[in-house]
């Protein structure tokens, strides 16, 4: 058995993984254990990691093949599968609850973030357990959501999106609003409030109002893990059963740099 340790970080989700140096080759048994742990705990934290970009891309393969990210203006020069999360290149922290890249036919299984420069306070990342959120809904609403699907495209309100990215990635794709986790087998609520331009059969306005109302009712502190970053942390977020958000509550004269990789998953299905 792989010599890894798993320590829970919050009653609902999140676990710190010990005994793994992600910069080194990961054997098949460890890879399997990490994927099972991700499905179970939904957010994995590895402390004290250190990578070159090539090593980081190799590490991400544990959770799936790295996918091209669609805001190419923020990609690392010469490493187009690593996105730079960095306010100094004009980004605003993504403070609304969301899951990543739902405009893809096979959206990411995981978002992987590596803490390169961390401000002395604030600037955390929160992750909410959308499996627990689904389980907490009344049965009638679970049944309603299970019959709904969303039409996903790029965010309408990102004016700096490059034409070439729009051409490649702004293609409508329909996903279920409840999906079955391919590893864990359980159900979770699944949507991106601004990439879902509408819920099938509803108006865009009605769809947006319903999704915002769901977020308001579902996401509570008891299902949310807050990650306070340390330099060298790797946070792996299961995009199939969580939503996440950044916190912009840090001093902008300080640098905050995360390297982001998204690892491709399966096409969402409800079974």
Number of residues that bind Fe ion (CB under 5 A): 1
Q: Are 264 and 64 in contact (CB under 8 A)?
A: yes
Site for Fe ion in 109-168 (CB under 5 A): none
Q: How far apart are the first and last CA of the chain?
A: 31
Residue number with CB closer to Fe ion (71 or 79): 71
Residue number with CB closer to Fe ion (26 or 268): 268
Residue 56 zone, left/alpha/beta (φ > 0; ψ -120 to 50; rest):
alpha
Q: Measure the CA–CA gap between 226 and 129, rounded to whole angstroms.
A: 11
Residue 100 touching Fe ion (CB under 5 A)? yes
Binding piece for Fe ion, criterion CB under 5 A, among 2-10, 28-36, 93-101, 201-209: 93-101
Q: Measure the CA–CA gap between 137 and 216, rounded to whole angstroms.
A: 12
Give the shortest CB-170-to-Fe ion separation in angstroms. 18
Residue number with CB closer to Fe ion (100 or 264): 100
Residue number with CB closer to Fe ion (26 or 190): 190
Give the shortest CB-3-to-Fe ion separation in angstroms. 32
Binding piece for Fe ion, criterion CB under 5 A, among 46-54, 94-102, 217-225, 251-259: 94-102
Using alpha carbons, list the distances in angstroms from residue 182 to 131, 193, 220, 238, 271: 13, 23, 25, 11, 10
Footprint of Fe ion (CB under 5 A) = 100
């Amino acid at each position: 058995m792989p010599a890894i340790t798993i320590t829970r970080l919050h009653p609902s989700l999140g676990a710190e993984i010990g005994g793994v140096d992600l910069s080194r080759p990961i054997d098949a048994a460890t890879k399997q254990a990490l994927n099972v742990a991700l499905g179970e705990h939904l957010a994995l934290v590895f402390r004290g990691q250190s990578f070159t970009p090539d090593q980081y891309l190799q590490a991400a393969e544990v959770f799936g093949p790295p996918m091209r990210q669609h805001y190419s203006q923020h990609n690392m020069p010469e490493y187009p599968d690593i996105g730079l999360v960095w306010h100094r290149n004009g980004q605003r922290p993504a403070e609304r609850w969301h899951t990543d890249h739902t405009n893809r036919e096979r959206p990411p299984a995981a978002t992987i973030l590596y803490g390169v420069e961390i401000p002395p306070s604030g600037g955390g990342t929160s992750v909410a357990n959308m499996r627990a959120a689904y389980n907490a809904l009344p049965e009638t609403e679970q049944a309603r959501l299970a019959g709904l699907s969303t039409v996903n495209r790029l965010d309408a309100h990102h004016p700096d999106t490059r034409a070439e990215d729009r051409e490649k990635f702004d293609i409508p794709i329909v996903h279920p609003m409840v999906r079955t986790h391919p590893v864990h087998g359980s159900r979770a609520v699944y949507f991106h409030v601004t990439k879902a331009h509408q819920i099938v059969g509803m108006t865009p306005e009605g769809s947006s109002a319903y999704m915002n109302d769901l977020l308001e009712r579902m996401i509570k502190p008891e299902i949310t893990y807050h990650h306070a970053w340390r330099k060298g942390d790797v946070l792996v977020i299961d995009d199939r059963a969580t939503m996440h958000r950044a916190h912009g509550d840090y001093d902008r004269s300080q640098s905050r740099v995360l390297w982001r990789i998204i690892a491709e998953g399966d096409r969402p299905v409800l079974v």
